[in-house]
Amino acid sequence: MMLETRQLQYFATVAEERHFGKAAERLKLAQPYLSQQIRKLERQLGTTLLNRTTRTVALTSAGSHLLEQARRVLSELDTLGTEVQLIGAGLKGPLRLGFTGSTTYGVMPQVVRRTAMAAPNLQLGVSGEMTTPRLVSQLLERSIDIALLRYSSPMKGLSYQVLGHETCILAVPTGSPLDDLESITAAELAETPLVGYPENSVVSAVTTAFLSEQSASPDYSIRASETSTLMSLVAAGLGPAIVPRTATALEIPGVHFREIAEAPRTELALAWRTNEETQTVTRMARIITEVTSDVIDEEATDPAETLTDPVDTPAEPKENAS
């Protein structure tokens, strides 16, 4: 037996008002029509729900049970409708984010804070200090939904939105000779052993290109994948490190930051699975873009431009640090 939502609504209103006239007025229905619908419901259920007199309407035991259950069902339906609307608007549901390297410290906290204010019903899952290749793999494996990474080359199955450029800065051990300088040149760095990301990282690639302008190649004393580990090695006095500017949000005693003349820079980009740009992903992309605009030096020519699948599938990228 299938009961209709409107039948439950009609019955619950009459039961609450204990008066057909008042219930009809509240429902904006004609009283004879409402009475007819209640009688139809009783016939359908095969039992009396209301005891009627010329003055009062009283619930039978069956009517009391139906009222209790009708209220529950109507409340759940109302909640369901609200939840579906929120999900459709990108304001509710699970969303898994991934952040590369130093953006874990310079971008992620603000993204989480703004999301909590703008869409408190979103259930965020956040992963930080992830390498760009790892983020790409996580997207393709459907372990995360959207990633902030350092753009190098497109991967088939993903769409990208380049946000802009982030310059690098030099992290130096406190009290080291470079700590006395306000700005460091490529020539000065070419003579200094560095602490750096792995050789195949995006930041390492731009560092190599930067030093090659001085006909030099970087000399690394030690490498580390995570920005936090790399900064700890700088604090230990093992050498300076060229890091993205967002790394300055990670305050570690024993580390100072110095500008680099004509500093190298990387491109920050958002990535998500092609053809899965849901309202939730679109809303989160907008929040991340707004936060990232505070840390990048130069926005993309067209920040709204989206890069989709390349024609040819590039080789699987190796694990890198940022």
pLDDT band at 86; cut points 50, 70, 90 = low
Determine the 3-state secondary structure of 135 from DSSP. Answer: helix
* Residue labelled with tokens 């790394």: 247
pLDDT for residue 304 is more than 70 = no
Query: DSSP secondary-structure letter at 262?
Result: T
- Per-residue model confidence as pLDDT tens digits over 203-253: 888 999 999 887 888 889 999 989 999 999 999 999 999 999 999 988 899
Rounded to whole angstroms, the Cα distance separating 258 from 212 reads: 21
Q: How many CA atoms are closer than 13 Å to the CA of 286, on its beta-carbon side?
A: 11
User: For residues 313 and 32, what is the distance between their CA atoms, to the nearest angstrom?
Assistant: 70
Q: Sign of the CA dihedral 48, 50, 53, 58? A: positive
In DSSP terms, which residues pair with 122 in a beta bridge? 93
Threshold 0.85, pTM exceeds:
no
* pLDDT value of residue 118: 84
Q: Is it the case that residue 310 has pLDDT exceeding 70?
A: no
The interaxial angle of helices 61-88 and 5-17, nearest 10 deg, is 120
What structural domains and CATH numbers belong to the chain? 5-88 (1.10.10.10), 97-164+267-299 (3.40.190.10), 165-265 (3.40.190.10)
Mapped onto helix, strand or coil, the DSSP state of residue 92 is: strand
